Amino acid sequence: MVWDYERDVLIDVIRQAGVEALRFVVNGFETIQKPDQSPVTSADLAVNQVLQSRLASAFPRDGWLSEESPDDLDRLQKRRVWVVDPIDGTKAFINGEPEFCISVALIEQGQPVVASIFNPSTDELFTATRGGGLRLNDEPVASPAAWRGQHPVIALNPWERQIGRFTSLEPLADNRPIRSIAWMLALAASGRIEAVATLEPENEWDVAAGVLLIAEAGGMIFDGRGDALTFNRREPRYRGIIATSRHCPDALTRQLKLLTRTINDVVE
């Protein structure tokens, strides 16, 4: 099938990167502050190096966009670009929480066609190719036949949860704070939670892989304004992300869509 070779290479590379991440968990790591005051660790940089060296060697004509690499705008002229977050959920990694992920997507003409989100702590590797469905550890993920009728769960940014940004959703869903949006999207794609919401700025590398996982599982995802997501743009940033699983209850889906009408008031 189309993109099977790219998927197989990515699986091998991302698992190797996961081994590297866990090595730092065991042996320790250094943490510094970026200019924007967000943390980056020596593990982020080492994992980025594993991914970039291996993927660039296998696909030398493709472009590259990573949180931990200087942005080379030559990528804008490329038909295919790898969009990478070496460790999504760096704060979770620093705190020893098993929710950090390695997130990688291959973008072709603005849309993800191959994607993987790997949680090395739990050894869960989610993969998807466009039109090929969602897989977990190389086994197909079967979506529930219908909504189970239990109280739905929505994943939130811990800070947004703390300030009560989404109190309008409380009657409709339990909320779960998660530091990695990539992991949120993987959980929603697999049906373990029903929705994801943030009105904080997000980058392409945070969500590129998750977009394909959600799509291949039959869910919906859009930015905080309610617009479809495209990739490999000059400014790789969005104003929030909202996603739902295939069987998210209609009432919760409707309320999430209403959030897009107020984003200017919330984040500007």
pLDDT (tens digit, 9 = 90+) per residue, 35-64? 988 999 999 999 999 999 999 999 999 999
Res 83 pLDDT > 80:
yes
Task: Tell me the pTM.
Answer: 0.95
Contact in structure between 153 and 193 (CB atoms under 8 Å): yes
Res 174 pLDDT > 80:
yes
Reported in sequence order, the residue ranges of the chain that DSSP labels E, i.e. its strands, are 31-33, 39-41, 63-66, 80-88, 101-108, 111-119, 124-129, 133-136, 139-140, 153-156, 174-177, 195-203, 220-223, 237-244
Res 265 pLDDT > 60:
no
Instruction: Tell me the domain boundaries of the chain.
Output: 4-140, 153-267
Res 146 pLDDT > 90:
no
Angle between helices 4-27 and 42-58 in degrees, nearest 10 = 160
Is there a common fold for 4-140 and 153-267?
A: no
Class of the 153-267 domain?
Answer: alpha beta
Res 142 pLDDT > 90:
no
pLDDT (tens digit, 9 = 90+) per residue, 179-213? 999 999 999 999 999 999 999 999 999 999 999 99
Res 105 pLDDT > 70:
yes
Q: So what's the pLDDT on residue 192? A: 94
Q: So what's the pLDDT on residue 32? A: 94
Q: So what's the pLDDT on residue 268? A: 45
Q: So what's the pLDDT on residue 102? A: 98
How would CATH label the architecture of 4-140?
Answer: 2-Layer Sandwich (3.30)
